[in-house]
Amino acid sequence: MAGAFKEKLAAAVRRSDSLVCVGLDVDPGRVPAFVRERADWIGYFNAGIMEATADLVCCYKPNLGFYEALGAEGWQGLRQTLAAVPRDVPVLLDAKRGDIGSTAEAYARALFEDLGGDAATVNPYMGFDAVAPFLAYGDRGVFVLCKTSNPGAADFQDLPCEVSGERRPLFEQVARAAVGWNRRGNVGLVVGATQPAAFRAVRAIAPALPLLVPGVGAQGGDLAVAVREGADASGTGILVASSRAVLYASSGQDWQAAARAAAAELRDAINALRGAKSDGARAIP
């Protein structure tokens, strides 16, 4: 990726020695009850999580659906959250937007100009013109949904497509399209950790594109495969997203300490796997 997001992310990875991306997915049913009693509980909770984990992560990823579901209170809490993010940690807005050109332009302005996100997730189902307004922001990251972590991902993403006389699953065609769209160097792909077989195929098509990897933790994704097959030649190139396992590690007074411990455990597990991959690579003649 080129421009501000790439540089900000790379600096955050170096500073924290981490590929962990914490999803700030606020759930009023899971936030500690004593925190939930506060009028500003959304901003307070997220600020507490960030205070506890900022030196352990490379990115924060608010999923906009959790805030939209809470109405005006949710939007206010989202803005409070964004204002509290440390300046040296990038924000990836998980919005999964994708619509016709004029609407996509409005979505892109909302995410990048109004909310000030450093990156966003987009849905390519409607084709290039639905993604192009996001790509036009060359200093922002655009992560295209490719092989997602949900159980129904195979319903469409695995459907065979005829490409150059060969039948390939649709998600591979999305990866190829994303490589072609990467004219400004700001495109990434979303590949879920619950889809271990997809990583090798995606990396063969898109060796240099960064991958956002959801599905680790509560969804039970395969972290070892995600790191072994998803990391690029430099041993980075992936953002391993974890939300519930970090945010709700404890519902007690130790919620911040528990979140920090969970984030540190994930970071260390990823780094151990990165080290093992490097050692293996050096052993190959």
Point out the residues that are catalytic.
96
Chain centroid to Cα 40, Å, comes to 26
Residue type, 174: V
Q: Both tokens of residue 84?
A: 């509290």
In angstroms and rounded to an integer, the radius of gyration of the C-alpha atoms of the chain is 18
Q: 3-class SS at 209? A: coil
Backbone angles phi, psi at 157, to 5 degrees: -65, -20
Q: Which residues contact 66 (CB under 8 A, 6 or more apart)?
A: 25, 26, 27, 74
**For the chain, how many residues are written?**
285
Q: How far is Cα 137 from Cα 112, in angstroms, rounded to an integer?
A: 8
Residue 151's CB: how many other CB atoms inside 10 A? 9
Q: Using CA atoms, how far apart are residues 270 and 19, in angstroms rounded to an integer?
A: 7
Helix 255-283, helix 223-230: angle, nearest 10: 50
Tracing tokens 């039970």 back to the chain, one arrives at 220
Whether residue 207 contacts residue 199, with contact meaning beta carbons closer than 8 Å, is answered with no
Residue tagged 């980075």 (tokens): 236
What is the tally of helices (H) and strands (E) in the chain? 13, 10
Amino acid letter, 36: R
